[in-house]
Amino acid sequence: MAAREAGCAGAMPRLDHIEGRIAYMKAELGLTPQQLPAWDAMAAALRQAATHASEMTPGHTGAAAGAGMAGADDAWPQRMAAAAQLLSARADMLRALAGPARDLYAVLSPAQRAMADQMTGTAPGGV
């Protein structure tokens, strides 16, 4: 098994990769029918987080552009403010994922928990 194959440990998979990541995690966990409601909530939260992350990517024409995201040629204070905005959005995303992750983890067997721990990386908020 290729753990942490979503890219950098802790990084949110790109929006165009999230469905593959969700399918991979579901298959590796070997979920039972009783665990599927918690899994479905987690998958929905992952989709929402990936969508939001794609909107906050610098250079995106959506929310990031409207938020005045700074580029490499912008002044230091603008880059600093943009970085703070991205970190705040990342923290919001992690908070939104924490509840569904906790609920899913609660219904996993010890072996499934070990697999989930391994798949999600070591960085805070790894998915």
Query: Is 122:10 a contact under the CB 8 Å cutoff?
Result: yes
**Residue 107: per-residue pLDDT:** 98
List pLDDT tens digits, range 107-116. 999 999 999 9
List pLDDT tens digits, range 83-104. 898 889 889 999 999 999 999 9
Backbone dihedral angles phi then psi of residue 109, each to the nearest 5 degrees: -75, 165
- The distance in angstroms from the start CA to the end CA of the chain is 16
Helix, strand counts (H, E) of the chain? 5, 0
Q: Quick one: which of 33, 16, 13, 15 has its CA closest to 25?
A: 13
List pLDDT tens digits, range 26-44. 999 999 999 999 999 999 9
